[in-house]
Amino acid sequence: MAPVQPQNADAHPPWYTPQRLLALFCWVTFLVYLDQGVISSNGVNRQIQVVSYAALTLAFPPAQAQFNVGNVGDGTLPSAFLAGLLIASIVYSELTTRFNAFRMIGFGFGVWAIASVGCGLAPNFWVLLICRVVMGAGEASIITLTGPFIDDVAPPAQKTLWFGVLNLFPTLGIAAGYIFGGLIGPLLGWRYAFFIQALIGLPVVIWALLASPINLQTMHDDEDVPSNTLAGVYGTAPLAKTGWLTSLGRDLLILGRHPVFVLNMLAYCPVQGAFGSYIFWGPKAGYELFDLPQETIDLTFGVVTIATSIVAVLLGGLFIDMVGSSIRNAMIFCSAGALVGLIVIEAGFMFAPSFPVLIGMFALGELALFAGQAPCSAVQIWTVPVRLRPLASGMGTVTQHLFGDVPTPPFVGWMQGVFNDWRLTMGLLTLLLSVAVVLYAIGACLPGKDYRPVGQQRALRADKVVPDLDPEGASLLRGGSGNRVSHVRYVMFASMGDRARS
């Protein structure tokens, strides 16, 4: 990988357009999450119990059956990527200051593809587990760097919508992975699912490593300070040359001093935990509550989750762009969505008299929850210094998994074992969303600097995409290395009223 070189911001390779870059990142994100669906699918990873393709499955037993692994050990495979993701996300974010970020995406995706082949060749469970960890290290480059790239290239008035488009593909990838693994496993054997997905990803790896790269912005003209100082956080003293670990610790400390970023990151953890538990336990709860065919319940929950995610993520991003893509608007929108989701889903699980009523209320609640994904992703990028965006993206993803969908499903299983009442268990799970409601609301009340370029914010105000509440905002936002940035305090309802009147 070549070191980062100074560049003209307007100089781009011939292949580049913002739309092509978005399409490329959407495809890469789809493939990464396709793998997560594959490793969880019945065709690739389960014990042989009830089988549709009996003869073929006996010839090609799934991984869990072939390696004779129990449910506890097998349950580590879908989440093993987190170990690699946790470490590599931090590494990639620091390397963006030394190497071209686009090349790093190609390198990371290449690691992912090689580890996918390793999964297919694994002679035993432990090798398979190690390859899963390495795949997480590879996909960390995509999860860490695609968000900052999208914020760089998206049209200013459509940034939240572009985040919404990118956020569609994790759900679509996982859903496609269930289908892909379920078909390939019985027909060719579970190993071929990993070989095929690596082969599909190979052209992207070659392209990202050999094509003329684009550069990720490492500093905007409205940054508090140059990249070698900490003015605005600790004063104006330049940073001395330090080791990698010292630099990382300093950067993490800077992120921690941005309260809106921290609140936004923590607020999404209960939402992520609820999503993970609904996906895992929702069909089982519906089956035991209403005694309908398991296939009907599984299919219905799956279709509802995919459909609501597509509609809500796009509408949420579009709505924030229309009413004003300010940080405060985004945080209040996320808080309101979590509140609506909490009320509707709680009522559905506690009181729905039939499965159609439950699934209808569940769909409405998921629409409200999914609508906050794009604004949440945007706030994660906009509320930190630009050079720290990759680290912020990586830390956000790791935190959402570590405190969200990894611990919550086992905890829900424990609660059901204690209460033996699915309505009470799912009702208590849904109450977790109240934490998100409160944290988002607190974040909306705090003054937080918007690190988007001053020129971009001026353009948004001029187009009335964001309410022009501070006519002197441009000069205040620029702030010199010795000046503190003044934060504009306002109430969201007033800002939306100004927007409506305009």
Give the CATH number, domain containing residue 388: 1.20.1250.20
Amino acid found at 476: L
Q: Are residues 318 and 436 in the same domain?
A: yes
**193 within domain boundaries:** yes
Q: Are residues 174 and 263 in the same domain?
A: no
Last residue of a domain, one of 162, 194, 216: 216
pLDDT of 487 above 70: no
Q: Are residues 206 and 267 in the same domain?
A: no
**357 within domain boundaries:** yes
Q: Are residues 193 and 330 in the same domain?
A: no
Last residue of a domain, one of 190, 216, 242: 216
Q: Provide the residue count of the chain.
A: 502
Burial of 34 (0-12, 13-18, 19+ CB in 10 A): buried
**68 within domain boundaries:** yes
Q: Which of 224-233, 272-281, 448-457 has the lowest mean pLDDT?
A: 224-233
As for how many domains the chain has, the answer is 2
pLDDT of 156 above 60: yes
Q: What are 318's two structure tokens?
A: 């579009």
pLDDT of 442 above 70: yes
**173 within domain boundaries:** yes
pLDDT of 466 above 50: no
Q: Are residues 395 and 453 in the same domain?
A: yes
Which span out of 64-68, 200-204, 218-222, 438-442 was modeled with the highest average pLDDT?
438-442
* Helix (DSSP H) and strand (DSSP E) numbers for the chain: 23, 0
Q: Are residues 299 and 176 in the same domain?
A: no
**358 within domain boundaries:** yes
Amino acid 486: pLDDT: 31
pTM for the full predicted model: 0.77
**Strand-pair partners of 238:** 229
**By the 8 A CB rule, do 84 and 207 touch?**
no
**By the 8 A CB rule, do 355 and 444 touch?**
no
pLDDT of 473 above 90: no
**Strand-pair partners of 3:** 99
Q: Are residues 285 and 195 in the same domain?
A: no
Amino acid 460: pLDDT: 60
Q: How confident is the model at residue 301 (pLDDT cuts 50, 70, 90)?
A: confident
Q: Which of 201-210, 259-268, 296-305, 360-369 has the lowest mean pLDDT?
A: 296-305
**113 within domain boundaries:** yes
pLDDT of 187 above 50: yes
Q: Are residues 59 and 125 in the same domain?
A: yes
Q: Are residues 171 and 99 in the same domain?
A: yes
**6 within domain boundaries:** no
pLDDT of 283 above 50: yes
pLDDT of 39 above 60: yes
Residue numbers of the domain that contains 76: 11-216
Q: Are residues 262 and 203 in the same domain?
A: no
315 against 7, higher pLDDT:
315
Q: Are residues 63 and 195 in the same domain?
A: yes
Q: Are residues 279 and 358 in the same domain?
A: yes
pLDDT of 58 above 50: no
Q: How confident is the model at residue 56 (pLDDT cuts 50, 70, 90)?
A: very low
**231 within domain boundaries:** no
Place of tokens 């790896």: 205
